[in-house]
Amino acid sequence: MLSPRQPAQLFVKDHMNSEEAKFLLHTRSLELGDPEDLRMAEALEQTRRDPELLAWFNQQRALDAALHDKLQHVRVPAGLVEKILAGREARIEPRRNRHLMPLALAASIVFLISLAVFVVGRSNPPTTRFAAMQAEMALFLREFPKLDLATDRLPEVREWLARQHSLTQGSLPKALERFPGIGCRTVEWEGRKLALVCFMVEGQVVHLFVIPRSAFPDAALSSTPVLAKVGPQNTASWSNRDNLYFVVTQAGEALLQKYLLAMP
Amino acid sequence: MSVTDQEFEQVVRGHYADVFRFALSLTKREAEACDLTQESFYLLGSKGRRVEDASKLKSWLFTTCYREFLRDERHRVRFPHIELSLVEVELPEATAERVHEMDAHVLMETLEKVDEIYRVPVMLFYLKGQAYKEIAAALAVPIGTVMSRLARGKEQLRVLLAKALQPRTDAVAAPAGPTIRERPYE
C-alpha cells in the first residue's frame, strides 16, 4: 500500500488529472517494482498529492490482489499433468536434419504407399483406441502414480472398485488376488474412467487396469493374456465376459508368463 | 534452449494450472481448455528450442495458448467496436473482502462474461501478474491499445463482479451489464 509522502520530486509541467491517473494506474503491474515508465511514475506521484486518488488506488490494488489470489483457487481437472506428460512422450518426434528432409519426405511417401497397400489388404486396422490407451498408460506408469486409496487389504480394494466403478466381486483376476495390494486409483483417459489397482508380486510392482468392455468396444481381446512390450514396460491384455484387463509392469516378461499365462 | 524431459516436467508442474485457467477463460469449456493446455505444452515439447530464455517460458506458454486458441477460432471477429459508454449502475461495490468470500468458479464465470478483447489482457494481468508491456508483446498489439483494453476490461470486470455479488433477489432488476467504448490511449 502507498501512503502520502512529500510532494513529488519528479519534474512535470502540468499534473495529470485524476481520471488520467486512474486510467494509467489500472494497468500497474501486480508485482510492485519501479514504475513501468515516466507516465506511470507521474501517476503514482499524483496519488501522493491526491488523497482521494490514493484511497481509490489502494482499494484497487487490494481488489487486484484478491482477484489474483482467488483465481489460484479455480479448480484444475485431476490428471491433467499426467495427460500433458504422456501426450508429449507419445507425440514428440525426433528433430530431423533439414538437409535430409527431401530424402525423408520421399522415403515417407514410399513408406505410406506401402503401408496403404498393406492396410487395404487387411481386415482389421492395427490401431484402436484401446491400443492408444495402452501406449499412454504404459508411459504414464513409468513412475509410480499417486493413489486414491493406499491399502494392502484386497477387501478394501474390492469395496473401492464397487463404489467408484460399479465393479462386482470377482472383477479382480485370481492370478493377482493372491498377492498383497498397494492401492488403487481412477485414471481418466479420453473421458473414460479406468480403475487402476497396484499389486506387489515377488517384490515387483504390477499395475492392473480393470475396464468395462463397453468403454472400448473396439478392443478385440481373447480370454488368454497376450503379452507385449510397450516402451520399457511389459504388458498383458485379455478380457472376460464383463471386463477388459490390462497389466503393466517394469518386471520381466517371465513374471507375467509365470502367473498370468497359468491362469485357469 | 533445449527442453529436456526433466525440465519439461518441471515446467508443466510449475505452470499447467495457470495455463489451464487462462485457456478456460478463452474457451469457457473445461474439455476444450484441457485440450488447449495440452497443445500448448506439446508445442513447448516439440519446439522448445525456440524459447531462448527459461525465465520467459511462462510468457511463451500463455502466448502460444492464445495463438492456438485464435487459430481454432476462425469465426472470431478480430476488432469488434463497441459503441456504448460505461453504464454507471447502483450495485454492491466489488471489494477485496467480497472477492475473498466468493467462490472461485463464480469469479471464473464472471471473467468469461468480459468481452474477449478485454478478457485476454485482464487474464494475463491477473494470472501472471504481467505488466502492460509484456502483455502487449504477448498479444502483438501496441502498448497504448493494451493499456486501453486492460483499463476498460478491469472496469467491465468490476461492474460484472458487483452484479455477481448482489443478492439473487435483486438480479432481475439489474441492468444487462457494463458496455464500454474502446478508444486508443495515446
- State the Cα–Cα distance between residues A220 and A210, nearest whole angstrom: 15
- State the Cα–Cα distance between residues B3 and B52, nearest whole angstrom: 10
pLDDT-derived band of residue B54, with 50, 70 and 90 as boundaries? Answer: low
Cβ burial of B99 (10 Å; 0-12, 13-18, 19+) is buried
All residues of chain A having their beta carbon less than 8 Å from the beta carbon of residue B94 are 63
pLDDT-derived band of residue B51, with 50, 70 and 90 as boundaries? Answer: low
Across chain B, which distance is largest between two alpha carbons, in Å? 57
For residue A208, the model assigns a pLDDT of 94
Residue of chain A whose Cα is closest to the Cα of B8: A85
pLDDT single digits (tens) A65-105: 899 889 988 888 888 888 888 776 554 433 334 444 555 56
- Say if residues A199 and A206 touch (Cβ distance below 8 Å): yes
| Cα four-point dihedral sign B146, B133, B139, B99 | negative
What average pLDDT score do residues B107-132 get? 87
Report, in angstroms and rounded to the nearest whole number, the Rg of chain A calculated over CA atoms.
30
Residue type present at position B53: D
The beta strands (E) that lie in chain A are given as 149-150, 181-189, 192-201, 204-212, 226-230, 233-239, 243-249
Q: Which residue has the cell 480393470?
A: A210
Q: What percent of chain A has pLDDT over 70?
A: 76
Q: Tell me which of B80 and B41 has the higher pLDDT.
A: B41
pLDDT-derived band of residue B107, with 50, 70 and 90 as boundaries? Answer: very high
pLDDT-derived band of residue A238, with 50, 70 and 90 as boundaries? Answer: very high
Report, in angstroms and rounded to the nearest whole number, the Rg of chain B calculated over CA atoms.
18
- Computed over every residue of chain A, the mean pLDDT equals 78
ipTM: 0.74
B95 touching A (Cβ < 8 Å): yes
What average pLDDT score do residues A26-36 get? 72
pLDDT single digits (tens) A115-156: 554 444 443 443 678 888 888 888 888 777 888 888 888 888
**Which DSSP letter does residue B88 get?**
P
B27 touching A (Cβ < 8 Å): no
- State the Cα–Cα distance between residues A58 and A55, nearest whole angstrom: 5
Alpha-helix runs per DSSP H in A141-173: 154-165
**Which DSSP letter does residue A144 get?**
P
Q: Three-state secondary structure along A97-121?
A: CHHHHHHHHHHHHHHHHHHHHHHHC
- State the Cα–Cα distance between residues B25 and A82, nearest whole angstrom: 22
Q: Which three cell numbers stand for residue B168?
A: 439473487
According to DSSP, the residues that pair with A248 across neighbouring strands are A207, A235
Is the model's pLDDT at B175 over the cut of 90? no
Is the model's pLDDT at A247 over the cut of 90? yes
Q: What is the DSSP string of B34-56?
A: HHHHHHHHHHHHHHGGG---GGG
Q: How far is CA A76 from CA A66, A83, A147, A220, B19, in A?
A: 19, 13, 18, 34, 10
Cβ burial of A250 (10 Å; 0-12, 13-18, 19+) is middle
CB contact under 8 A, A29 and B129: yes
For residue B21, the model assigns a pLDDT of 92
For residue B129, the model assigns a pLDDT of 74
Return the ∠ at Cα B148 (arms to B146 and B153), rounded to 5°: 90
| Contact residues, chain A to chain B, C-beta under 8 Å | 23-24, 26-27, 29-31, 36, 59, 62-77, 80-81, 83-85, 87-88, 91-93, 191
- State the Cα–Cα distance between residues A141 and A82, nearest whole angstrom: 10
Q: Which three cell numbers stand for residue B88?
A: 454507471
Q: Which residue has the cell 472496469?
A: B155
Kindly compute the dihedral angle of the four CA atoms of residues B41, B42, B43, B48, in this order, to the nearest 10 degrees.
80
pLDDT-derived band of residue A9, with 50, 70 and 90 as boundaries? Answer: very low
Q: What percent of chain B has pLDDT over 90?
A: 12
CB atoms closer than 10 angstroms to residue A245: 22
B42 touching A (Cβ < 8 Å): yes
The beta strands (E) that lie in chain B are given as none
- State the Cα–Cα distance between residues A240 and A173, nearest whole angstrom: 10
For residue B122, the model assigns a pLDDT of 92
pLDDT single digits (tens) A147-199: 888 888 888 888 898 888 888 777 888 888 888 888 899 988 888 889 999 98
- State the Cα–Cα distance between residues A184 and A152, nearest whole angstrom: 10
Is the model's pLDDT at B186 over the cut of 60? no
B11 touching A (Cβ < 8 Å): no
Give the number of beta-carbon pairs within 8 Å between A and B. 114
Is the model's pLDDT at A252 over the cut of 90? no
Of A68, A87, A88, the CB nearest to B126: A68
- State the Cα–Cα distance between residues A149 and A167, nearest whole angstrom: 16
